[in-house]
Amino acid sequence: MAKVEPIHYGDRRVYPVAAFNRGLADYLGRLPTVWVEGEVTELRRADTWANVFLTLKDVETGACLDVTIARARFDALELGLTDGERVHVEGRPGLWEARGSLAFRARTIERFGAGEHAAALARLRAALEQEGLFAPDRKRPLPRFPRAVGLLTGTDAAARGDVVTAITTRYPPAWIVVCETRVQGRDAAVRIVEGLERLAAHAAVDVVVVARGGGSFEDLLPFSDERVVRAVAACPVPVVSAVGHEQDEPLCDLAADVRASTPTAAARLVVPDLDGLVAGLAQSRRRLADGTRHAAARDRARLERVGDRLRRAPRLLLERRRSALETTGGRLRALSPTATLARGYAIVRRGTAIVREAAAVEPGDAIAVELAAGGLDARVEEVRP
């Protein structure tokens, strides 16, 4: 590394900021590594970052120390750290020369034991989960068109503006009932429960959004308070939890019917998109018009076919009846005695009785003979057996 040289102004030696920072960084880099104990807060990691960032907090005094560690080294440790855990960190102080920011550059991290809050939360989470408060079958669907949206948020909180703006932009007719209360610090859990009960008791509120922006692990602790978690689970209307950032997971998130990564995302969940509704109605109107036209055309074609059949039906019926009559007439003619006579046969009667055998008459009897055309009377001269 190049030697840090001052600028001489007479007998005064002056170091430029960059030179001073470079020299200080070089000095800090020669210090031996040390172990530091503290409670993890504000752990931040992303796949696109070269480093993982966290803050170590002294559990007694609240003093804080910024810590960085190479992401590849952090991932290799496979610690699965969460905010609130107590750890030992080995490293040395370092300076980011561009900004003159001091941070503890860690070489390794070892879990020393769960922090007091993290351990308590882990026990509470296990107990409530065993009780069934986080069960998926308890989750209720959100109403598509709520009469009013209840919003529980901190006093003058940015989250309130985010939710209200997102709701009114997405669905201007929406009615929002806002309850501002204390969301961190002493008595925050009690205030949150009271606010939630007031919103749920409102006659028009069909869904409640619990919103709070990002904060430290300690700032979000009221939303993991058992009283708050039980109040969220017992709320008579569906609850959307939008507390902290996406990586945060207070216990109220698990008890809520829906978890939103941000307050703005919660707004998109509780009200429909008016532009989308208008576009959907227009599309439905077009489909209805097209369907009506298609149905009319289909019915018109069907009526034309029926009319054509009706017009042809009498002729077809007459033809069928004529054909049937001709067939029946042919059968009758074939069975008629007249047809038999036409073939050269005759009908012989003795009185009114038909003579079917020679023994039925005697010589000298008068008989009548019926022919195909006409008839004649005769007298029997001889009977042959």
- At 78 the pLDDT is 76
CA distance 255 to 237: 13
CA distance 151 to 199: 8
Place of tokens 């069960």: 135
Q: Which helix (H) or strand (E) holds 377?
A: strand 375-379
Considering the domain boundaries, does residue 55 fall inside one?
A: yes
Considering the domain boundaries, does residue 2 fall inside one?
A: no
CA distance 382 to 201: 127
Secondary structure of 268-315 in the HEC alphabet? HHHCCCHHHHHHHHHHHHHHHHHHHHHHHHHHHHHHHHHHHHHHHHHH
Three-state DSSP at 128 gives helix
Residues 218 and 128 in one domain: yes
Q: How many domains does the chain have?
A: 3
Residues 137 and 239 in one domain: yes
Residues 191 and 105 in one domain: no
Look at residues 228, 244, 274 and tell me which one is the last residue of a structural domain: 274
Q: Are 205 and 234 in contact (CB under 8 A)?
A: no
CA distance 283 to 275: 12
Question: How does DSSP classify residue 153?
Answer: E
Which residues are within 8 A (CB) of 116 and not within 5 positions of it... i.e. 6 or more apart? 59, 84
Residues 162 and 261 in one domain: yes
Residues 152 and 213 in one domain: yes
Considering the domain boundaries, does residue 288 fall inside one?
A: no
Residues 252 and 129 in one domain: yes
Look at residues 113, 141, 175 and tell me which one is the last residue of a structural domain: 113
Nearest to 38 by CA among 79, 77, 90: 90
- At 113 the pLDDT is 55
Considering the domain boundaries, does residue 356 fall inside one?
A: yes
Main-chain dihedrals φ then ψ at residue 240, nearest 5 degrees: -110, 120
CA distance 97 to 115: 33
Name the residue type at position 280: G
Positions in the chain whose pLDDT score sits under 50: 114
**CA dihedral sign, ordered 238, 197, 210, 224:** negative
Residues 270 and 351 in one domain: no
What six digits make up the tokens of 77? 């440790």
Domain extent for 79 = 7-113
- At 7 the pLDDT is 80
- At 257 the pLDDT is 94
Considering the domain boundaries, does residue 293 fall inside one?
A: no
Three-state DSSP at 376 gives strand
CA distance 267 to 169: 10
Residues 86 and 155 in one domain: no
Residues 124 and 265 in one domain: yes
Residues 135 and 269 in one domain: yes
Give how far the C-alpha of residue 110 lies from the chain's centroid of Cα atoms, to the nearest Å: 42
Secondary structure of 179-243 in the HEC alphabet? EEECCCCCCHHHHHHHHHHHHHHCCCEEEEEEEECCCCCCCCHHHHCHHHHHHHHHCCCCEEEEE
Look at residues 252, 274, 296 and tell me which one is the last residue of a structural domain: 274
Residues 37 and 15 in one domain: yes
What are the C-alpha distances in Å from 351 to residues 233, 357, 363, 369?
Answer: 114, 15, 15, 11
Question: How does DSSP classify residue 137?
Answer: G
Residues 35 and 105 in one domain: yes
Q: Are 45 and 71 in contact (CB under 8 A)?
A: yes
Considering the domain boundaries, does residue 49 fall inside one?
A: yes
Q: Are 207 and 142 in contact (CB under 8 A)?
A: yes
What are the C-alpha distances in Å from 361 to residues 171, 295, 377, 380?
Answer: 116, 83, 14, 8
| Adjacent-strand bridge partners of 154 | 181
Q: What is the CATH number of the domain that holds 86?
A: 2.40.50.140
Considering the domain boundaries, does residue 361 fall inside one?
A: yes
- At 143 the pLDDT is 92
Cα dihedral angle (362, 367, 371, 376), rounded to 10 degrees?
130
Q: What is the CATH number of the domain that holds 140?
A: 3.40.50.261
Considering the domain boundaries, does residue 285 fall inside one?
A: no
